[in-house]
Structure 1
């Protein structure tokens, strides 16, 4: 049935019900005006005449019970068995009120009250009628007393009065608002939220209370006939499918703890939609409080649509939000990186699960979103370092396609990696200095062995999800899936540069931890600072560099004072934290002997950077001066033999030579190179081979 036909059918059914209500209103008006001396007074309702006062004073208390139609005497409990209440006539299957009563557990009396309350919102001709019946022309909505009178009962009946309790279906479901709190219950006005009126008229638009950007409606998909092979093999998808099937069979409330933010919501929402359930995706916004205020509207919308609710990431204090949503009659899935706390909703059926990793399905999502890359690059290799959820991958793929269109070029690995980095949490900037890699392996001058180990480090970072996840080669003891390497060697031998090269090869940013912002003289503060860094690194696709790592990863010592004791506690914390680390970290040190053996055992790779020999020094000189204008007779071999400099010192000497040549307005000469090399010797306090002036 088309949307227009649905609206016409639903609105027609509601208008038919209002016609029946109008007949009851007319009967009630007729009976009341028959013995009312002020019925013809044009100012009736604005003041009370003496005759009206005497009439009200002499009316017996039970008079209200006789206002039902003949043969329609109210019987307690007659409205609680179903929506087919008294006087309502046959129910049209297209009437949305039937489904509303079923979903919210409404009795027949509830439906009569709801119909009386919403009548002025659909047909304004009810307003003057209600003003007359309320004896107040300014009160044009149904009151509790009037609604119950129209149903054939009154507020004197305890069963009827209980339908307005906050825990009763009408109020707890958000279908009815009882206003005028300062008035006694019989005189309080009733209002039906516009979303409920619109739903009964056939409008399926999202509740205006939920259209603040933090609630998204995801329509249900067609139920799939069976599982594909990839879905059956993928742990995350199989988990989401089981959860969705359970939610479609009965309401549930579950908390999923994610290893990385945002990775659980996508598969779970997709599974629920494939099971035939629409999904209301709610992202609590700090600007709108903890979200508990929206819970009522969110649950009402979920019941109206027979939808599931997916909520997360949870705010810092989720107690009120979880208690409001975990009521058991709507499927609700909470997710977040923090562990589940039973105190959030102790009286609900909420249970907790660990969300499985989605790494196995990531490659399929990338391929689906980007399609064929026509062999321009290896898509699997380009995206392997990124641990993104399905929703993050879709956003990254769209951004990469748009970036390629902006550049006017075909899609490249650089476009994909740039967009993928944007999806990773950038909060490490608070604790570390970010370096955008600008050097590749072709800029490294190293012996074959350390170069091969650097390539192995790259491969470990790319294939850890397969080896440690799919192949289950991870050891026990709560060990994470991180990759940790130690770069050891003298200052200037290329340790930091190699870390930058590794990050660039993986398409990741390099974050250099500033030890001055980590080490604190107060007991326990250093561990807290390191925990913040490790926690963010676990959630960020980046390479973490601890330069001069022996300052925090040093050897434990014999306890001779309280300082030794707390220093050992700090080392013990780091040992445990490295075990559970999920990111990529590189430690550098000039003094490998100072690193605790227990740290060394937990490292995946140890790369020794030797001091360069004469041939490597020549290659370093050529690499540093590759883009500079050089004299034809420049003798770099002789300079490399004469000056024993590390790679970092050669780079500084080449910069000095460049400034000398630029100041002279000519190419770099042998004299410029030797002047730069002598400058580095003097900085190191070494004897200068040539005693000639610096500026020769």
Structure 2
């Protein structure tokens, strides 16, 4: 023992008086309120220290707590409690000016120490007992006021153990150590530990000598620090601003949800028809209910910290987009019945995810357009153009509209101009998911209606197609003209005509008019020889298309949309199954899908009946061919006196072939560093005939 490092004698304990922390004032400072409680605790610690030092023969021993002398052993034997009087023997008397129990002080759960007393509010929300609140205060005291450390070391009879122990906490609370009800408050299922507010360390020690620790985040909160837990850094996102009410059924749904949120904790799962729809509805409902929320991404490894953060701030937990295997996360979150937990995902809820089912709701879909929400996001920047027309095709949810508005302002600032419709459209397109690019070829339209040279009838039908895309929510939704049976609000069109008659160009023009990107799907590359693979490939495309504001173009639709045949072998059976699947999937599609075919008669009648429009692209006559030649040459430097009329009359070419002929002539002229001549155009037209295997006028037998 002589080699032991000497330690100072137990500290002289003074009864707090004039140095007692001031009471929390009208400002409601949380730190001041907590210090008031610690002042009361210090009085209790003083009482217990004086009680133990009164007859302790080792009180003045500088090595007390490091070894056990004979005098201490005899003292323990003389004071050993017996029978049922243990609680009376263990309870120290109160000294003048200090309370006998912590539960008798104004610092207990039911009696706040001031306007800023966060501990009292937390105890009320978590339904902590007065004993729980007192134990929590005892545990956190050394982390807030270091003068408690030597006092706790003395009371633990071990100067190295400067945190409260289970036994010390019970002594300070005036509760007998053998009381089963009191010991149960330290069980892992008891509120303090189950809610993440208290840690009982050193499980290998006897129960009464196990150390107590309050989490740093809890202490920071009680002192007024609202910085989120370090484990949640990078996982928390701000909730999007609530979108303005539009007076629709969706708004009525949100108001009902807000009323339920106002009543108290709720666990709900919103299945969203499209990514962002559920988050937009939750943002609106939480704002209407006056409930703050923590929006977290991928919280699987930090659920305890997330729930504790929600409890500390009396906030809801919002998780938009669940992991691929959501069961463990849903199970952990739905087990917290005292916290509002709101989940949203496009998948239907699976009862196997959790034994405790949440309230399962279908989130309302966002209408296309939503000019009021866009105007709220853009403010006065939306005054310079027709906002309603510009945003009509877009169905952005969550915080996508605010982000698109920010992007539009940034694009306008880069261009040095006010915000225009083009800026808004480009920003909105960038907010759409781009997963389709792995399945289809993306075309960013750079054409308009002036680039189409078509007869009046197909031109009128194309404009009607764009009109249907803009007003489908009003007609099919508000006016309830949907066919029912699970049919979506998509727009389906078939473009039929020979190759080169303008089908793909027309789809590009429609997409440009709507301000959307065009994705071209080559169905010949989607069809797979293995059973079921074609359907999987198509489902991936439709799933991505449902998340994207775009026009979907199925080229060579005959490959899948062909007529179903009589089943003569297994190949016919599975080919018909593919067609049946595609028929059902198109009916439930909510986007804009266009199909092209070179021969309309090849398309199954079941598909044709479900199409909104069938546009026939006739082979151009001489007058239209002349218009196509002139349009193709409108920006090309030509020699004087060029007349395309003979070419239009003699060469029966479709629009695509005429364009190729003009491109050939332009290259010939560029190679000479000259303008395009009539001979260049003639050579271009002849080459198109040769490529098609046709006899060229003026050659052979001509």
Change (3 A) 1:91 1:541: closer
Structure 1 counterpart of 2:248, from 210, 230, 234: 234
Counterpart for residue 76 of structure 1: none
Between the aligned partners of 1:351 and 1:85, the Cα distance in structure 2 is 43
Between the aligned partners of 1:217 and 1:578, the Cα distance in structure 2 is 34
Change (3 A) 1:204 1:527: same
Matches within 5 A, 1:349-368: 350-359=358-367, 362-368=370-376
Cα shift at 1:652: 1.1
Task: Determine if the alignment matches structure 1 residue 28 to structure 2 residue 36.
Answer: no
Between the aligned partners of 1:626 and 1:87, the Cα distance in structure 2 is 90
Structure 2 counterpart of 1:200, from 214, 217, 222: 222
Between the aligned partners of 1:125 and 1:495, the Cα distance in structure 2 is 83
Cα shift at 1:314: 1.6
Task: Determine if the alignment matches structure 1 residue 19 to structure 2 residue 46.
Answer: no
Between the aligned partners of 1:281 and 1:33, the Cα distance in structure 2 is 53
Counterpart for residue 656 of structure 1: 664
Cα shift at 1:484: 0.9
Matches within 5 A, 1:432-581: 432-581=440-589
Between the aligned partners of 1:347 and 1:276, the Cα distance in structure 2 is 26
Instruction: Compute the TM-score of the two structures, normalised by the length of structure 2.
Output: 0.90
2:200, 2:213 within 8 Å by CA — same for their partners in 1?
yes
Cα shift at 1:545: 0.9
The list of structure 1 runs, each at least 4 consecutive aligned residues, that deviate by more than 6 angstroms after superposition, is 4-7
Cα shift at 1:163: 0.6
DSSP 3-state at the match of 2:441: strand
Deviates more, 1:324-333 or 1:243-252: 324-333
Counterpart for residue 121 of structure 1: 143
Structure 1 counterpart of 2:638, from 624, 630, 637: 630
Change (3 A) 1:216 1:482: same
Counterpart for residue 613 of structure 1: 621
DSSP 3-state at the match of 2:394: coil
DSSP 3-state at the match of 2:274: coil
Change (3 A) 1:42 1:243: same
1:393, 1:420 within 8 Å by CA — same for their partners in 2?
yes
Matches within 5 A, 1:160-559: 160-216=182-238, 231=245, 233-282=247-296, 284-285=297-298, 291-326=299-334, 327-348=336-357, 350-359=358-367, 362-372=370-380, 376-389=384-397, 391-559=399-567
DSSP 3-state at the match of 2:352: coil
Cα shift at 1:26: 1.9
Structure 2 counterpart of 1:44, from 64, 79, 96: 64
Structure 2 counterpart of 1:68, from 91, 95, 100: 91
Change (3 A) 1:191 1:215: farther
Cα shift at 1:53: 5.3
Cα shift at 1:266: 2.4
Between the aligned partners of 1:55 and 1:525, the Cα distance in structure 2 is 84
DSSP 3-state at the match of 1:371: helix
Cα shift at 1:7: 6.8
Between the aligned partners of 1:352 and 1:487, the Cα distance in structure 2 is 41
Cα shift at 1:233: 2.0
DSSP 3-state at the match of 1:171: helix
Once the two structures are superposed, residues 650-681 of structure 1 have per-residue CA deviations (whole angstroms, 9 ceiling, x without a partner) of: 11111111111111121111100010111111
Counterpart for residue 690 of structure 1: 698
Q: How many residues align?
A: 665
DSSP 3-state at the match of 1:543: strand
Once the two structures are superposed, residues 478-529 of structure 1 have per-residue CA deviations (whole angstroms, 9 ceiling, x without a partner) of: 0001111110100111111111111111111111113354211110011011
Cα shift at 1:464: 0.9
Counterpart for residue 597 of structure 1: 605
The alignment yields a C-alpha RMSD, in angstroms, of 2.5
Instruction: Compute the TM-score of the two structures, normalised by the length of structure 1.
Output: 0.90
Deviates more, 1:300-309 or 1:94-103: 300-309
2:638, 2:676 within 8 Å by CA — same for their partners in 1?
yes
Once the two structures are superposed, residues 454-482 of structure 1 have per-residue CA deviations (whole angstroms, 9 ceiling, x without a partner) of: 10111111111111122221111000011
Between the aligned partners of 1:689 and 1:631, the Cα distance in structure 2 is 23
Once the two structures are superposed, residues 609-664 of structure 1 have per-residue CA deviations (whole angstroms, 9 ceiling, x without a partner) of: 11111111111112222211101121201111111111111111111111111111
Deviates more, 1:185-194 or 1:678-687: 185-194
Between the aligned partners of 1:54 and 1:532, the Cα distance in structure 2 is 81
Between the aligned partners of 1:362 and 1:180, the Cα distance in structure 2 is 59
Cα shift at 1:99: 1.4
Q: Which runs of 5+ in 1 are unaligned?
A: 73-78, 222-227, 286-290
Once the two structures are superposed, residues 352-393 of structure 1 have per-residue CA deviations (whole angstroms, 9 ceiling, x without a partner) of: 011112327822111222235677432111101001125211
DSSP 3-state at the match of 2:508: helix
Counterpart for residue 92 of structure 1: 113
1:322, 1:344 within 8 Å by CA — same for their partners in 2?
yes
Cα shift at 1:59: 6.0
Q: Which runs of 5+ in 2 are unaligned?
A: 1-23, 96-100
DSSP 3-state at the match of 1:264: helix
Counterpart for residue 9 of structure 2: none
1:218, 1:279 within 8 Å by CA — same for their partners in 2?
no
Cα shift at 1:345: 2.4
Change (3 A) 1:48 1:429: farther
DSSP 3-state at the match of 2:520: strand
Matches within 5 A, 1:103-142: 103-142=125-164
Task: Determine if the alignment matches structure 1 residue 150 to structure 2 residue 164.
Answer: no
DSSP 3-state at the match of 1:465: helix
Cα shift at 1:50: 5.0
2:48, 2:172 within 8 Å by CA — same for their partners in 1?
yes
Once the two structures are superposed, residues 540-583 of structure 1 have per-residue CA deviations (whole angstroms, 9 ceiling, x without a partner) of: 10011110010011111111101111111111101110110011
Between the aligned partners of 1:42 and 1:515, the Cα distance in structure 2 is 89
Counterpart for residue 288 of structure 1: none
1:428, 1:537 within 8 Å by CA — same for their partners in 2?
yes
Counterpart for residue 224 of structure 1: none
Once the two structures are superposed, residues 37-90 of structure 1 have per-residue CA deviations (whole angstroms, 9 ceiling, x without a partner) of: 433232333344455456557763659632323489xxxxxx9xxx96678576
Counterpart for residue 75 of structure 1: none
Once the two structures are superposed, residues 218-256 of structure 1 have per-residue CA deviations (whole angstroms, 9 ceiling, x without a partner) of: 89x9xxxxxx9x847222222222211211112211111
Between the aligned partners of 1:134 and 1:666, the Cα distance in structure 2 is 101
Between the aligned partners of 2:325 and 2:78, the Cα distance in structure 1 is 58
Between the aligned partners of 1:435 and 1:358, the Cα distance in structure 2 is 25
Cα shift at 1:536: 0.9
